[in-house]
């Protein structure tokens, strides 16, 4: 291990890993749920790391947060009420609040410390918590889901990987709970790992979603600081006729600029569902 560098190692991606050079350690402490590490890096701006796994960096977080938010929001005709599970840095709330049809956002994050630390060190994402549309709860997303039915148009699960507190959020009964928390024609979108490292995770998560929803698909985006430089999303809809790759709303260039969309546009929305052959065959 090189001195002054952070290396992300995990049993989920054995034998190879990503590293960045650390300029300054800003915060390092164990919360009730996980080890929280925030630092300033040489080339990626500030970074948030939980249990040794990179959650986001200032340089590329917009790619992940815009895509996990706008893919499901733009597949829905009228996404008025949105639930975010996880997302303790505030980045997904920041994005969801931009959508013109969203009236109400509810968020449930398990770790109050992540929220607190993000407000202090990661204000470029934590601005999401200032939205007047948002009601923020601290709690477990899985437990929360049990107490809500027919309430949300869109549920976004911005969760950490399935080690630690997020394990339940990758199971089929979580998809079943989300299904009953949705209004008719509701849509879910979950962080679902990358096909280079975690083909089994991707396959299983998509299968769970397919078992519960009449329509389901996998999409992905480029995020250089995530394992293998990509992250995928499993998206499911209660509308069997949904066309995931044709967005219900297209923003003009001017709207994209006003909303500060730096990754998402209608073309990338369509492209995100176009998969390489070996993945398409595996997920068929």
CB of 125 to ligand AAT, least distance (A): 7
53 binds ligand AAT (CB under 6 A): yes
Task: Tell me the per-residue interface mask from 146 to 185 with ligand AAT, x by CB under 6 A, - otherwise.
Answer: ------------xxxx---xx-xx----------------
Give which of 144, 157, 120 is closest to 36, Cα–Cα.
120
Phi first, then psi, for residue 89 (nearest 5°) are -85, -15
Q: Which residue has the tokens 């597949």?
A: 75
User: How is 102-120 classified by DSSP, letter by letter?
Assistant: --EEEEEES-HHHHHHHHH
Q: Rounded to 5 degrees, what angle do the CA atoms 80, 83, 86 make?
A: 150
For ligand AAT, the binding residue among 67, 73, 114, 215 (CB under 6 A) is: 114
57 binds ligand AAT (CB under 6 A): no
**In the chain, count of helices (H) and strands (E)?**
10, 12
Question: Can you say how many angstroms the Cα of residue 195 is from the centroid of all Cα atoms in its chain?
Answer: 16
CB of 201 to ligand AAT, least distance (A): 11
For ligand AAT, the binding residue among 55, 69, 131, 197 (CB under 6 A) is: 55
For ligand AAT, the closer CB: 52 or 104: 52
Give yes or no: 158 in active site: yes
Cα–Cα distances in angstroms (integers) from residue 122 to residues 53, 61, 95, 119, in the given order? 17, 11, 15, 6
For ligand AAT, the closer CB: 180 or 228: 228
Report the interface residues with ligand AAT, using CB under 6 A: 50, 53, 55-56, 65, 85-89, 91-92, 108-111, 114, 140-142, 158-161, 165-166, 168-169, 191, 226-227
| Residues known to be catalytic | 158
């Amino acid at each position: 291990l090189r001195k002054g560098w952070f290396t992300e190692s995990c049993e989920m991606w054995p034998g190879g890993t990503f590293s960045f050079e650390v300029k300054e350690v800003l915060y390092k402490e164990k919360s009730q749920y996980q080890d929280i590490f925030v630092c300033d890096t040489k080339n990626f701006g500030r970074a948030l790391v939980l249990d040794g796994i990179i959650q986001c960096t200032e340089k590329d977080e917009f790619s992940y947060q815009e895509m996990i938010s706008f893919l499901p929001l733009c597949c829905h005709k009228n996404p008025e009420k949105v639930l975010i599970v996880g997302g303790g840095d505030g980045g997904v709330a920041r994005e969801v609040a931009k959508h013109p049809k969203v009236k109400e956002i509810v968020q449930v994050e398990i770790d109050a410390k992540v929220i607190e630390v993000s407000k202090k060190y990661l204000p470029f994402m934590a601005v999401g918590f200032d939205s007047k549309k948002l009601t923020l709860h601290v709690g477990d997303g899985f437990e929360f889901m049990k107490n809500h039915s027919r309430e949300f148009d869109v549920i976004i699960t911005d969760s950490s990987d399935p080690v630690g507190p997020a394990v339940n959020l990758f199971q089929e009964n979580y998809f079943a709970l989300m299904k009953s928390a949705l209004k008719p024609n509701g849509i879910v979108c979950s962080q679902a790992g990358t096909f280079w490292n975690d083909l089994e995770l991707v396959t299983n998560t998509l299968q769970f979603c397919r078992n519960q929803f009449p329509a389901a698909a996998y999409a992905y985006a480029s995020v250089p600081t995530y394992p293998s430089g990509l992250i995928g999303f499993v998206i499911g809809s209660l509308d069997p006729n949904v066309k995931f790759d044709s967005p219900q709303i297209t923003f003009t260039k001017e709207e994209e600029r006003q909303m500060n969309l730096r990754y998402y546009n209608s073309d990338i929305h369509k492209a995100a569902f176009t998969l390489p052959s070996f993945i398409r065959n595996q997920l068929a």
